[in-house]
Structure formats: C-alpha cells, structure tokens
Amino acid sequence: MRFILLDKVTELVVAQRITTVKALSLAEEYLADHFATFPVLPGVLMIEALVQSAGILVHVTNDFRQSIIVLQEARNVKYKSFVKPGNILRMELTARSIDEQSSSFLAAGFVDDRPVVEGRFQLRHFNLADENEKWAQTDEKIRQEMRYRARLLGA
C-alpha cells in the first residue's frame, strides 16, 4: 500500500509552521487488526503522519536540497484520544529550527477541537550521495518524487 499519511497541506509558512490534514478511512489495511471491533489509527502511525508533515515543511524550506528526511528522536509523546474512520486528523507543527542537516518540531494532532496526540521531534536530513557518490542519481529521483508529492499535497 502507499504509505502517504497526510492528504493535504492547509497552511504553510516557510521555515516556521505547517498545518496538514489526514482523513482516516476503513480502506486502510492496518485497521483490520487494530482493532477488528474498534478500528483506530495506531499511535505509531500518528507519529509517522506528523513526521511526514514536518518533512514537507523541511523540503519546502530547504528547497528539496536533502533527499532523505528521517525521524531521529521523538520526546514527550502523549496520546490523548483516538482517531476513528470518518475523522479528519488535523496536524499542526511549529518548527523550532530548520537547518541543512537537522530540524526540531513541536507537533500536535486534533480531531476538530479534541486533542489527539502531541510530541516533540528531532529530524535528520541528508543525501545518499553524502555516503557514496554513486547514489547521486537515486537522490535526484527521490528529490523529484518529493517535489511531485509536495505539489500533490498543495504545499
């Protein structure tokens, strides 16, 4: 399955802030077992959705100079309530810093006014070519895919 855990960017202020939304659908595979009688978005996937959202802001701010953006650390994560099929998870992230190789975010997720999740993330960004020059073409392909995705999401 495609693993894009956000559907739209609703607000973006370069280097500062991004708001995105993700609608939860019963069509998502992992809900079949989580749980059969009570489908809810797994907590780790809330984190993934938030990190992907932060990644879009990093890409736009750094003009896609780094192809790979990964989560380095998640701290003070709290799960306050569930996201259910039919809910729209609204994710609000504030960048505390965005540098070339790393960034730091405060993140929170809501369904309407109801807080769902919050946490602080440290992200790391790099190019595969940093390790080995022969990966430069792969970096470029990834960069193109990320540019395409950001456009698709309305960033």
Partner 1 sequence: MAMTRDQINEKVKETLMDALGVDDDEVTDDATLMGDLGAESIDFLDIVFRLEKAFGIKIPREELFPAENLLNDSAYVDHGKLTGAGLERLKSQMPHVDFTEFEKDPDLNKMPDLFRVNSIVTYIENKVNAA
- For the beta carbon of residue 32, count every other beta carbon within 10 angstroms: 10
Report if residue 85 touches partner 1, rule: CB under 8 A. Answer: no
Report if residue 132 touches partner 1, rule: CB under 8 A. Answer: no
34 given a catalytic annotation? yes
Report if residue 42 touches partner 1, rule: CB under 8 A. Answer: yes
Length of the chain: 155
Report if residue 134 touches partner 1, rule: CB under 8 A. Answer: no
Comparison of 42 and 135: residue with beta carbon closer to partner 1: 42
Q: With CB under 8 A as the contact rule, which of the stretches 56-64, 76-84, 99-107, 132-140 interacts with partner 1? A: 76-84
The token pair that represents 12 in the structure block? 């973006």
Active-site residue identified among 34, 90, 147, 149: 34
Q: Is the peptide bond before 38 cis (omega within 30 degrees of 0)?
A: no
Report if residue 120 touches partner 1, rule: CB under 8 A. Answer: no
The token pair that represents 136 in the structure block? 């430069």
Spatial neighbors of 90 by CB under 8 A, at least 6 apart, are 10, 19, 20, 21, 109, 110, 111, 112
Contact of 88 with 147, CB cutoff 8 Å: no
Q: With CB under 8 A as the contact rule, which of the stretches 19-27, 37-45, 53-61, 145-153 interacts with partner 1? A: 37-45
The token pair that represents 74 in the structure block? 């998640």
Instruction: State the number of binding residues for partner 1 (CB under 8 A).
Output: 19
Question: Which residues are near partner 1 by CB under 8 A?
Answer: 33-38, 42-44, 74-82, 119
